[in-house]
Structure 1
Amino acid sequence: MNIAKYRNIGIIAHIDAGKTTLTERILFYTGLSHKIGEVHEGAATMDWMEQEQERGITITSAATTCFWKLDDHDYRINIIDTPGHVDFTIEVERSLRVLDGAIGVFCAVGGVEPQSETVWRQANKYKVPRIAFVNKMDRPGANFYNVLKSIKEKLKIKAIPIQIPYYKNDEFIGIIDLIKEKLILWNNENYGSEYTYHNIPETELNTFLTYKNNMLESLAETSEELMEEFLETLTLSETKINNAIRTCTIKNEILVVLCGTAFKNKGVQLLLDAIIKYLPSPEDIINEKGFTLDKVTNLEAESFIALAFKITSDPFVGTLTYIRVYTGCLNIGDVIYNSTKEQKERISRLLLMHANTREEVKSIKPGDIVAVVGLKDTSTGDTLCALNKKVVLEKILFPESVISIAIEPYTKTDQEKMILGLRKLANEDPSLKISTDPESSQTIISGMGELHLEIIVDRLKREYGVSTKTGAPRVKYRETITKSIEHEGKYIKQSGGRGQYGHVVLKVEPMNPGDGFIFENKIVGGSIPKEFIPAVKKGILEKIQHGVLAGYPMVDIKVILLNGSFHEVDSSEMAFKNAASRAFKEATIKAHLILLEPIMLINVTTPNDYLGEIIGDLNKKRGIIQDVMDIISGKDIKAKVPLSEMFGYSTIIRSISQGRASYSMELDSYSPVPEVNLNTILEKKNMKTDETA
């Protein structure tokens, strides 16, 4: 199939907007599945993990391929269904990195919800063209026009509806197509597989004409040629409308909005048509870091370049590496180059995935999204390329983990099995971190939230047969300084035989949030020989990683090596490492060490009745209310709250609102811990403030 007939798309949305239900209908109408799998019955094809089926949520991104015919041409659609819960945002991040387009799904009742905004920002980061589908139009309280307003206001995009809903006796039964100027009705008796075109009822003509004219005006504004034609004729042809929509969608200048109800089988076929008409093929991508696609005339003839975006463990075939192919072809048995790791890899098998089932293929080409068997050194975000075309693509950016728990097996004999399982899970999920507490020697796992870690513990039991017990959640604090200080450190040891001598003069300076760590060498005149400079940096880095105040990693610090001295015989790498470590520790203590805590951006959606009590509770948690907005279902509260105050909030908000309010949170920033809370944190770490004063 010609690559122009490929569409690589993702489905992104807030939790419960109906992403997976929509995907199930797409699989049904394209003939890939012959029975509709429902999420609420635990039978959705794309939610294949046991935890997904039990909880009715998507946890891991699932890939599949289907085919759709439009205007007598066959098209191939590679789909990735992504999670809506913020704890699994890494799945959305890595999927968007390799996709050419996306469908933003919005609930017709809830509109633009908190996680909708998060995934929209992620898609903006990777400049992914999108179309919107307002789902659940059959629900009580559904309001297409309110959602349209919400999209424009919250997502700051030029949203243009190309359909409007049609109701009869307050029941959603069809769609008015603004481009074809027809009413479309679906046959309810065959799962909506058949639909028919009708004239627009007179009662709907005014609304139709208003939105048709708005659509034409909005599209005419995108080019002088269209504007001239529109001003002369007051209309545009169907072909010109579709071409303008496609051009502007690919440039991310507009967002066309469609509507329907996936669960009631209305509107999905028209969405499939829109995917083909408006979202880009792999040929339409302009720039991919490392090479420029618009200069390539034949993608298949180019050298092989792909990005590994996901790793999973399969009990039958071992490690599966999901890759997106940008240029060139790949065959079973080929040797390729991992330019990120600078390692050669051999291809054992190539698999086309349909959720968790596999279809073996002998070769792949540009635009394909497949799983590869046989890669030993490849991780998420690595570039794979031909041996003669060594390029490195832009890496996938992973969010920082903010919460950790201690974990241990019920039986000591399972310790090794637990560590092995955790390592495999961390290889699959870059937002999962494993470490060892230096004081207690406990194994610590860190992740994006309580649900994320809960799922990890559950997977350890189900997939690796290890039952574990866990400690209370811990916050991942950071340490930093607030003042600039110059300080020297010496390490001198004489105990017979060769001694040890290292002497350094350092300056430590605070930096802006997010700047990390910078080491600058300003030694002139050889007061410290060049071969000892890496040892100085190593001594500082060891302290940076383990902290000075309370054992937490240090951030946003610049260290300048100003001066020092050495001994011809007694100086060594170890001596300079120890001298630098000592100097850095003493300097940071003088530079006013502070503890930083993660501040979460909280979104609470609640009926009006519980607004006061929820705000009062957030205030008690040291929360700062940012905004309270009117939404269809009540109020949307935005607040910034320290993560340490949010443990167990699911239970609290359920109790306050009788189960009617919901919330989501994501990391916003790090902020200094107030003095009143600092002592409590240090005491839990078995430390005292006066030790660092």
Structure 2
Amino acid sequence: MADKNLRKASDQDLAAPGPDRIRNVVLVGPTQSGKTALIEALAKVSLGQHRSVSLSVAPVVLEGTKVNLIDTPGYADFVGEVRAGLRAADCALFVIAANEGIDDGTRELWRECAAVGMPRAVVVTKLDHARADHDGVVRAAQAAFGEKVLPVHVLRDGAVESLIGSETDDPRRGELIEAIIEESEDETLMDRYLGGEQIDEKLLIEDLETAIARAGFFPVVPVCAQSGTGLTELLDLCVRAFPSPPEHAPPEVFTPEGRSAAAVTCDPAGPLVAEVVKTTSDPYLGRVSLVRVFSGTLNPDASVHVSGHFASFGTEGHEDHDEDERIGALAFPSGSQQVLAPTVLAGDIAIVGRLSRAETGDTLSSPDQPRVLRPWSLPDPLLPIAIEAATRSDEDKLSAALSRLAAEDPSLRVHNNAETGQLVIWVMGEAHAEVALERLRERYGVTVEQRELVIPLRECFTGPAKGHGRHVKQSGGHGQYAVCDIEVEPLPEGSGFEFVDKVVGGSVPRQFIPSVEKGVRAQMQRGVRLGYPVVDLRVTLTDGKAHSVDSSDMAFQTAGGLALRDAAEQAGIALLEPYDEVSVMVADDLVGGVMSDLSARRGRLLGTDQVGDRALVKAHVPQRELVRYAIDLRASSHGAGTFSRKFAHYEPMPEELTAKVTAREHPSAH
């Protein structure tokens, strides 16, 4: 591998001469597949990452073309970083270790790339491992990703040799040539080849590169980061066969008001449209943004419009916002260093400083022509972690720290549950939670403690009852007097609350009847037994007493609440727990295990459907049984199972569980 062809980019190299001389390549694959080591070898710099849980960019220059190598985490919890990397890139390298198989998470990611037509290649790494099986991994990739996945190079005596020009590997060479010809726009080429004509090697290479760029063919390249084997060939593939930014369609463009806007092209002279693909916060430097420019040219110290509209496109947890800001200096990432950038052209990736309000996923555009890019899709974080500040000092800083953390990471949601009083962060998994809490502690100086998640319950009457409420106080001066009698009866689930007035003879003056209802409603919200809201109830006011001087609105509100509590003493009160409708997507061979597991969680199965090559299982499951389901499903499905959840309804909690909850959460009730 010659240094003149492959080197770390110098300061002069980093400013690309034009969008057509840029390649944005994202590396994806499972943890321990060798992505970071591969980038280190390609860029010849240390990125200082031994456990990649974040997005990073390293530029490499080959023959005047700048290749931005985008490293992504292999941990399934950090899918948000992977999606951001895919958004910043125009093509993807799937990195698979020669000593490992292909996991289900990688298969799922391949399907996602296929859905949007992203060009892909497979890189087989760790060829020097004692258990390396290059040919076995190639067969596994073909089985997982399809017949269009084929080697374009072979290993021979520790070196990489092109199959197209090989004279000793006719079977694999023939298979490769036929696959290339099938993708050729020249319809006569196959007949000529089958007729015995020797197809020009240059023409074959041109057709191969076209097929790769159009995501019709997926080459396999063997690479060893330690020895340098295959590195030049891999970069050559990136430069010659992967599309430049102008050849890759940008995301949809809208106005901040949500109207469709004219599509942009990768033109440095066009309107500015860029996207923040990663945000980090530094206690001293403030927010630092990694930005992909899709159109126009980004200049230092320019004014830009910052638009964040995740919520408008259906993503919860991040409020929409629009503001104008003045950016600071621009820089190109270069390993652990940064190189000042005079400008950043369309198609390139750069670091932008001083964007104090920008969040990951925000759009940067011209203030006089603001635009919003459709955000990249993100799965919902489904693991809830209840936290609270460890000290009063931590409590004072916690809200601001969580706000900044959420601005960096759209896959993390922060929820203040007003009903339970708990602060809950929703994350993708345990590793995601660990990193989030570590960042709170190390970056923002906030220590939190985890607490058991409280599930919001409801109370309901199990039968009809009567209640008497009497509020009489005489303490000198103006007194308080109100008496009311009510009848209560439970209603079917979801019916809500009904108030019926059956007072005759004016025993409760007309002006105080709404006061009784208001008092009953307030008591229902506070609960009558264990402090949970009461639902699905009809209350009928039948009688009462008033005093011409001492009766008041507040007195009858109090009496109404007392009457409801009295009725609760006469009737049975049951606890209701929330159920979610859960949709689980897994491979067909895992359906039985998923159904058994959901049943063991007190779930009620609703049925199964076939969605492509996978099965969709639906069930109603108590929320209490879903707290750790994100972790358990990932373990049982080897990372490939996914699920979604939405509130369905409340159902009575089993008596034995009611007793446990009452004893644990309300010991004074016994």
Take 2:42 and 2:193, find their aligned partners in 1: how far apart are those partners? 35
- Is this contact kept in 2: 1:597–1:643, CA < 8 A? no
Aligned with residue 39 of structure 2, among 2, 23, 36? 23
Partner residue, 2:120: 130
Take 2:271 and 2:500, find their aligned partners in 1: how far apart are those partners? 55
**CA deviation map 1:49-99 (0-9, x unaligned):** xxxx4xxx3111112222122xxxx11011210011110110001221221
Deviation at 1:356, TM superposition (A): 4.8
Partner residue, 1:312: 280
Aligned with residue 596 of structure 1, among 555, 580, 596? 580
User: Would the alpha carbon gap of residues 166 and 461 (structure 1) be closer, same or farther in structure 2, given more than 3 Å must change?
Assistant: same
2:643 partner SS: strand
Partner residue, 1:668: 643
Partner residue, 2:466: none
2:446 partner SS: coil
Amino acid at match of 2:201: E
Amino acid at match of 2:100: G
Partner residue, 1:209: 170
- For structure 1, the residue ranges without an aligned partner over 5 or more in a row are 38-44, 48-52, 168-172, 182-199, 478-482, 503-542, 544-548, 552-591, 604-610, 627-637, 654-660, 689-693
Partner residue, 2:106: 116
Partner residue, 2:340: 360
1:326 partner SS: strand
Amino acid at match of 1:180: G
Aligned with residue 433 of structure 2, among 448, 453, 456? 453
Deviation at 1:129, TM superposition (A): 1.1
Aligned with residue 66 of structure 1, among 60, 63, 73? 60
Deviation at 1:134, TM superposition (A): 1.3
- Is this contact kept in 2: 1:347–1:375, CA < 8 A? yes
2:331 partner SS: strand
Aligned counterparts, 1:128-527, within 5 A? 128-156=118-146, 158-166=148-156, 173-181=158-166, 205=168, 208-223=169-184, 224-286=187-249, 288-290=251-253, 299-340=267-308, 341-472=321-452
Amino acid at match of 1:9: V
**CA deviation map 1:648-682 (0-9, x unaligned):** 869x98xxxxxxx9943653244989989877877
Percent of aligned positions that are identical: 25
Take 1:668 and 1:244, find their aligned partners in 2: how far apart are those partners? 41
- Is this contact kept in 2: 1:163–1:258, CA < 8 A? yes
Amino acid at match of 1:432: L
Amino acid at match of 1:467: T
Q: Between 222-231 and 251-260, report the one with greater CA deviation.
A: 222-231
- Is this contact kept in 1: 2:29–2:95, CA < 8 A? yes
Take 1:417 and 1:686, find their aligned partners in 2: how far apart are those partners? 34
Deviation at 1:647, TM superposition (A): 8.3
- Is this contact kept in 2: 1:602–1:666, CA < 8 A? yes
Aligned counterparts, 1:604-619, within 5 A? none
User: Would the alpha carbon gap of residues 687 and 239 (structure 1) be closer, same or farther in structure 2, given more than 3 Å must change?
Assistant: farther
1:175 partner SS: strand
- Is this contact kept in 2: 1:337–1:345, CA < 8 A? yes
- Is this contact kept in 1: 2:18–2:345, CA < 8 A? no
Q: Between 16-25 and 314-323, report the one with greater CA deviation.
A: 314-323
User: Would the alpha carbon gap of residues 463 and 213 (structure 1) be closer, same or farther in structure 2, given more than 3 Å must change?
Assistant: same
Deviation at 1:423, TM superposition (A): 1.9
Q: Between 132-141 and 97-106, report the one with greater CA deviation.
A: 132-141
Take 1:78 and 1:90, find their aligned partners in 2: how far apart are those partners? 19
- Is this contact kept in 2: 1:4–1:282, CA < 8 A? yes
Take 2:26 and 2:101, find their aligned partners in 1: how far apart are those partners? 19
- Is this contact kept in 2: 1:75–1:276, CA < 8 A? yes
- Is this contact kept in 1: 2:253–2:264, CA < 8 A? no
Take 1:678 and 1:353, find their aligned partners in 2: how far apart are those partners? 58
Aligned counterparts, 1:640-655, within 5 A? 644=627
Deviation at 1:461, TM superposition (A): 2.0
Take 1:359 and 1:473, find their aligned partners in 2: how far apart are those partners? 46
Deviation at 1:346, TM superposition (A): 1.7
User: Would the alpha carbon gap of residues 58 and 499 (structure 1) be closer, same or farther in structure 2, given more than 3 Å must change?
Assistant: same
Amino acid at match of 1:444: V
Amino acid at match of 1:213: G
1:299 partner SS: coil
Amino acid at match of 1:452: H
**CA deviation map 1:13-67 (0-9, x unaligned):** 0121111111111111xxxx3xxx4xxxxxxx152xxxxx4xxx31111122221
User: Would the alpha carbon gap of residues 313 and 678 (structure 1) be closer, same or farther in structure 2, given more than 3 Å must change?
Assistant: farther
- Is this contact kept in 2: 1:403–1:473, CA < 8 A? no
Take 1:374 and 1:124, find their aligned partners in 2: how far apart are those partners? 37
Take 2:176 and 2:233, find their aligned partners in 1: how far apart are those partners? 18
Deviation at 1:440, TM superposition (A): 4.7
Take 1:616 and 1:666, find their aligned partners in 2: how far apart are those partners? 13
Runs of 4 or more above 4 Å deviation? 291-298, 472-477, 483-500, 597-603, 614-624, 638-650, 671-688
TM-score normalised according to structure 1 size: 0.64
Amino acid at match of 1:127: G
Take 1:436 and 1:295, find their aligned partners in 2: how far apart are those partners? 39
Deviation at 1:550, TM superposition (A): 9.0
User: Would the alpha carbon gap of residues 439 and 486 (structure 1) be closer, same or farther in structure 2, given more than 3 Å must change?
Assistant: closer
Aligned with residue 94 of structure 1, among 71, 77, 84? 84
Which of the pair has more CA radius of gyration? 2
1:288 partner SS: coil
TM-score normalised according to structure 2 size: 0.66
RMSD of the TM alignment (CA)?
4.6
**CA deviation map 1:361-419 (0-9, x unaligned):** 23211111112223244322222222444433221222211111222233222212233
Take 1:152 and 1:248, find their aligned partners in 2: how far apart are those partners? 17
Deviation at 1:269, TM superposition (A): 1.7
**CA deviation map 1:126-173 (0-9, x unaligned):** 432111111122323433333223223323461121012336xxxxx2
**CA deviation map 1:260-291 (0-9, x unaligned):** 22234321221111111111101111353239
- Is this contact kept in 2: 1:10–1:95, CA < 8 A? yes
2:372 partner SS: coil
User: Would the alpha carbon gap of residues 449 and 139 (structure 1) be closer, same or farther in structure 2, given more than 3 Å must change?
Assistant: same
- For structure 2, the residue ranges without an aligned partner over 5 or more in a row are 1-16, 255-259, 309-320, 458-491, 502-507, 518-524, 526-530, 534-575, 609-615, 620-624, 665-670
Amino acid at match of 1:6: I
Partner residue, 2:520: none
